[in-house]
Structures are given as C-alpha cells and as structure tokens.
Copies of this chain bind each other. A is one copy, B any other.
Amino acid sequence: MTIEPSRTDTRLDPYVDAYAARTNGLQVSAVRALFAVANRPEVVSLAGGMPNIADLPRAELGQTFARLVAEQGVQAMQYGSGQGEGFMREHIVEVMAEEQISAHADDVVITCGSQQALDLVTRVFCDPGDVILAEAPSYVGALGTFHANQCEVVHVAMDEQGVVPEALRQAVLTLRANGRRVKLLYTIPNFHNPSGITQPVSRRQELLAVADEVDLLILEDNPYGLLTLDDEPLPALRAFDAERVIYLGSFSKTFAPGFRIGWTLAPHAVKEKLVLLQEAATLSPPVFGQFAISKYLEDYDWRGQIRKFRDMYRERRDALLAGLAENMPEGTTWTHPRGGFFVWATLPEGLDAQAMLPRAVTARVAYVPGTAFYADGLGSGNMRLSYCFPTPERIIEGTKRLGEVLAGELSMRRTFGVGAAESTRNELSSGLATDLN
C-alpha cells in the first residue's frame, strides 16, 4: 500500500488546472493511513473496524458457492438489475424485520457496500455547499463522502443517549436563519461509530419529533444494529417513520464485507432517483455477491451465526473494558458500548491522542485519534478503541501497552510541563511518510 499524502502537492501535477472543484475535498483519512501500521503483526491494533470473520463455516460456504456457479453461474456471473436482484431485496426485507422495520422489496436499492449507499444518497440530495448534520464525533468514512461531494458537515452535540434533540433543533434553525440549505441529519443510532453510544427508544422518538417539526430528512446508518451484546435489538428509526428516514444497511458486519453488498431503503420517489444514479455509477451492483449472500441466508442458520458473533464480540468488549479499568491512568474515561465494535476514550486533560500516536505505535499498540471523527478539528483529547478484531488476550495486552504510553506522557508532562508527544509531532509526519510507502 502506498500512501503519500503530500506528494501531489509537492511535485508538479500537469493536470492541476483540469480537476473538478470537488477534488479539493479529497483527503487521505487518518484511519486509512493507520491500517498499514496497524497491520504489522507485532502491533496490537485497536484501530481498525474490520469484523472477525474467521469463524464463518468457510469450507461449507465454498461448497455452496461451487454449486451456485455450476448450477446458476450463467445468471450469477451475468449483468444484473441496477436496483439489485429481487430475491436479494426480499431477503433484506426479512433481515430488516429483525429491527421492526416493515418495508417492501421494491423500495430497497442494493449498493457496493453501504458506503456506496452513503455516496448515492448524498449525490441525490446535496449540491455543493449544502449542509449535512452529523453527530459530534461521526463516522470518518461518512465525513469523507460528504466532503468529496462538497458538502459542509456541521456537528450536533451528543450526550450518553446520542444526538441531543434540542441541539439538533437549534442547529437547523440557526443554519436556516443564515440562509444555509440543511439537507440531512446523518446518524448511527446503534453502537455509534466512533462513540459506542446507543439511542434509547425515547430518544429516537424525540429526534423524529424534531425532524418532523423542522422538516428534516434523517439518514440512518445501521451496520451494527444486530450485533447487540446485552439486549434485544432496538427498533430502528425507520421502524417509526417510513417517509422521513432513509435507511442504510450492510452485510459487512453480520456476514462478511468482501462481497461489498449493502443497501438503502428509501421512500418511493427517492428510490427511483437512487436507482438511476446507481445505474449511471455501476450499471448494476455486484451480482455474484447477491447470489452468494442469498444462498447463505437461504441455506444457513444466519440468525444462529449472528448469535455466535455476539458471543465472540461480547467477550472482546468485556476484555477491553476490563483492560481499560485495570490499566488506564486516573483521569481517563471511556464509554461502555452495549454492542458494535467501538469504545470512545477521553484522555486526561492536556494529552493529545494524535501527537501521542507515534509513541503508541513504538510501544506496539494502535488506535484512531479522535480528530479523525470531526470535520472541525476537535477530538484531540479522544481516541477510538476497537475490540472487533484482536483476541481478548491481545486486547488486554494492548490496554497494558496503552496504559504505559499514557503514564509516560503524564509523567513527562508533570516533569517538563509539556507532553512528550508534542516534541515528536514532526517525527510523526516524516515517520509516517516513510513507513507507509
């Protein structure tokens, strides 16, 4: 993997006058740059959001796919429908019913991962300069898509129940009073990325009431909803309102990401535009993956597999929380997610997670600095810790290493009045540029 964030800027680019304005919004994300470092075997990566799919019945799945190719290969390897195959959309309706969504397969559009659904919805609604509201913090990949489409992201405050309804109302009213076009609230109600926070049902209803009051569309992103670790799945925002909510779903966390099959469920008129844009973007979303996942849903106990995933992630979540309690220095706080992949930690006053990162990597532990999840530069005192991929033992080891890094930073601060990290900030830039080539 080659990542050279500054190369285009520093050497002569003969095409510089030809690019579209939207290319100014394209940035190398901190998460992406981290993957290369975090993938080294000696590093405990609490950085990535990759699901652990090692426990899928791979040999058996292989035989299922072999039969699929032999018996239906002429269809499964051919072009497909721009909206996605009907049988796949029927299965998706069944999956969404687990979160009390009542929908028709005709209103589902299949996408190349739910990331593409994000992109298509943004393109259907947003002209350059339009505003999208998002939680503070929010999913780094969504911020990237919004910026690539020349939208401005305005963050809305969260509390321990998610987006604060009054903050949402005020944001919309203030922005509109200033002549801004506010198009969407982008929200992850379950096991939020990166904060791990879940909106209780009462909060969901309050948010929908505000959205009604100010006439705002909600873009509900729900990749983790079925990976609930302590409770039954909550009803989705879309379960309460079919006209105001555009829903995004994915098989990446409940099955596997490599087929790149996600979807959006949208009101009928919106769906029609999404299909036309999908056809312009890909002709048809991945066809073989739709056949493969449909076979999986038909022939396997997928609900049982999700229960196994829950048990596996619960053990890892518990390991991370126990490790943090054991190893974090005083003054560190963190969220207690009831599902999903992520814990959001707040460092003791004065520490800078981004500046500290090279020291952490040297100590063989990686995380994502909080700044990655804000469009406005906030988050330097935060980090996202993922428990999805490493084993519980490695997670505990990671928290030990992280605790030592934090203790060292605090000690340095007490002795010299500044964090050690700040003195290595330049090291980070040049170090990353070299390491990641």
What is the interface of chain A, defined by CB distance below 8 A to chain B? Answer: 1-2, 4, 7-8, 13-16, 18-23, 26-29, 32, 50-51, 53-54, 56, 58-59, 61-63, 65-70, 73-83, 106, 112-113, 115-116, 119, 123-127, 130, 141, 144-145, 147-148, 183, 217, 243, 252, 256-260, 267, 269-270, 272-273, 276-277, 279-289, 291-292
Q: Are B79 and A69 in contact (CB under 8 A)?
A: no
Q: Are B289 and A288 in contact (CB under 8 A)?
A: yes
List the B side residues contacting A7 at CB < 8 Å: 272
Residues of A contacting B: mostly: helix
Given A53-B77, A141-B283, CB of A273 within 8 Å of CB of B112: no
Given A69-B61, A106-B2, CB of A258 within 8 Å of CB of B77: yes
Q: Are B280 and A144 in contact (CB under 8 A)?
A: yes
Q: Are A18 and B125 in contact (CB under 8 A)?
A: yes
Q: Are B258 and A78 in contact (CB under 8 A)?
A: yes
Most B-side CB within 10 Å, residue of A22, A77, A130: A77
Q: Which of B23, B252, B281 contacts A79 (CB 8 A)?
A: B252
Q: Are A283 and B58 in contact (CB under 8 A)?
A: no
Q: Which of B78, B112, B119, B277 contacts A148 (CB 8 A)?
A: B277
Q: Are B112 and A282 in contact (CB under 8 A)?
A: yes
Nearest CB in chain B to that of A68: its residue? B62
The smallest C-beta distance from A357 to any residue of chain B, in angstroms, reads 21
Cα separation A273 to B65 with both chains bound (whole Å): 35
Cα separation A282 to B83 with both chains bound (whole Å): 16
Q: Are B281 and A116 in contact (CB under 8 A)?
A: yes
List the B side residues contacting A123 at CB < 8 Å: 20, 22
Given A79-B257, A273-B23, CB of A282 within 8 Å of CB of B53: no
Q: Are A53 and B74 in contact (CB under 8 A)?
A: yes
The smallest C-beta distance from A40 to any residue of chain B, in angstroms, reads 16
The smallest C-beta distance from A69 to any residue of chain B, in angstroms, reads 4
List the B side residues contacting A183 at CB < 8 Å: 18
Shortest beta-carbon contacts, A-B, top 9: A62-B69, A62-B66, A258-B287, A77-B258, A77-B256, A66-B66, A148-B280, A26-B276, A58-B73
List the B side residues contacting A75 at CB < 8 Å: 258
Nearest CB in chain B to that of A16: its residue? B269
Q: Which of B32, B126, B127, B284 contacts A279 (CB 8 A)?
A: B32
Cα separation A76 to B61 with both chains bound (whole Å): 13
Cα separation A123 to B62 with both chains bound (whole Å): 38
